[in-house]
Amino acid sequence: MNPPSGSHVPTERSQDIAGRVEAFVREVVIPYERDPRRTRHGPDEALVRELRAKARAAGVLTPHILADGGHLSQLETALVLQRSGLSPLGPVAVNTAAPDEGNMYLLGKIGTPVQKERFLAPLVRGEARSAFFMTEPAEEGGAGSDPSMLQTVAKRQGGGWRIDGRKAFITGAEGASVGIVMARTGSTETTRATMFLVDLPHPAIRIERVLDTIDSSMPGGHAIVGIEGLEVGDDQVLGEVDEGFRYAQIRLSPARLSHCMRWHGAATRAQEIATAYATRRKAFGKLLIDHEGVGFMLADNLIDLKQAELMIDWCATVLDTGSLGTTESSMTKVAVADALFRVADRCVQVMGGTGVTQDTIVEQVFREVRAFRIYDGPTEVHKWSLAKKIKRNALGGGKA
């Protein structure tokens, strides 16, 4: 029997799916962590295809989307995505990785039946990857944490639209088959935006370069992209014209939370590796864990991991009520990103010299989680947003 609404107890189906995902990641995916096809810009396409073929055969591909097209609740998804994150390759292998997971969620919510068949179905089947084109180059005054600064423009042309602009930090653009492009469609004063669906690769969308970033888990890396003379029809408008910012909010809170889920799994794995090291390695006549300076770090990690898990479950429960959960997802993103960074940092410290090598994935988890404190909104932007809400409530007589 499923638990009552609002309960944090996992459902039977989510426990079953999560258990199968964890077994697959531990038994099949983890041995690939030393595969040379893992590049600076993420696993290459051959490795992605190989891993997904094995996930498909094991029945764990795209596990958060059910056979009937339905989606697990956010609380159920949390359990599954945490298990997929036990390896940096896990989300890629079972098709729960960013940006595909968030793009599938958005397409499932607002795509037309024809758009779902053309763009969503290949993503769900793990046969395609996608990219979300919103962030723009800072040096050009483009949109970053402030989406109202959007510079990419879509203008009416004949029976469709022409889109021009530049994008930055576009995850997975290289090798993607599906693109969602955010462009300004209102005047400068109104700053309205619209989302457009695009088949990739496209001659009007040019990858200028793939950035060398601190993280290396996402296929295709993060690219600077030029868009010049991109022509699309009205049938490629995702949702309604001028409603792009509203749809971005539908996507952003769950996608933000999904990052927390996946990286919680990665930090949990780092804790396992550091614990194994500390209970095997000796110094000054005793095991490392018997030195308080080491044992207390692992104890602090246990506390941070549990607190992060509870924040994720709390936010997931809020989203499952139908709320956009903007405030809750900001609070959770800040708390979890900072907590998991502390966990990864301590794991590196516990392992000493070994912790900064690529002999284990602890070093990579540290890099990935450091980037997470910026991706999907820097910690400071979320705190600023929360402070504005506190001010509004205080001055307006509302509850804090």
Tell me: do 193 and 255 sit in the same domain: no
Gyration radius from the chain CA atoms:
21
Q: Which helix (H) or strand (E) holds 199?
A: strand 193-199
Residue found by looking up tokens 């794995």 in the block: 269
Residue 302's φ and ψ, nearest 5 degrees, are -60, -40
For 277, other C-beta atoms within 10 Å of its C-beta total: 20
Residue 300 tokens read as 């602090």
Tell me: do 264 and 379 sit in the same domain: yes
Q: Can you list the alpha helix ranges (DSSP code H) found in 195-319?
A: 244-278, 292-319
Residue 124 pLDDT: 97
Report pTM. 0.93
83: domain range? 12-97
DSSP-based helix, strand, coil % in the chain, nearest 5: 55, 15, 30
Residue 1 pLDDT: 33
Residue 3 pLDDT: 40
Tell me: do 266 and 387 sit in the same domain: yes
313: domain CATH number is 1.20.140.10
2 belongs to a structural domain: no
Give DSSP secondary structure letters for 213-240: -S---STT-EEEEEEEEEEEEGGGEESS
Residue 303 tokens read as 């506390």
206: domain CATH number is 2.40.110.10
124 belongs to a structural domain: no
Pairing of strands 160-171, 153-157: antiparallel
105 belongs to a structural domain: no
Tell me: do 200 and 286 sit in the same domain: no
Residue 190 pLDDT: 61
pLDDT in tens, the chain (400 residues): 344 344 567 899 999 999 999 999 999 999 999 999 999 999 999 999 999 999 999 999 999 999 888 899 999 999 999 999 999 999 999 999 999 999 999 999 999 999 999 999 999 999 999 999 999 999 888 888 888 899 999 999 988 999 999 999 999 999 999 999 999 997 555 679 999 999 999 999 999 999 999 999 999 999 999 999 999 999 999 999 999 999 998 888 999 999 999 999 999 999 999 999 999 999 999 999 999 999 999 999 999 999 999 999 999 999 999 999 999 999 999 999 999 999 999 999 999 999 999 999 999 999 999 999 999 889 999 999 999 999 999 998 655 4
Overall domain count for the chain:
3
> 203 by DSSP, 3-state: which?
coil
Residue 312 tokens read as 């994720």
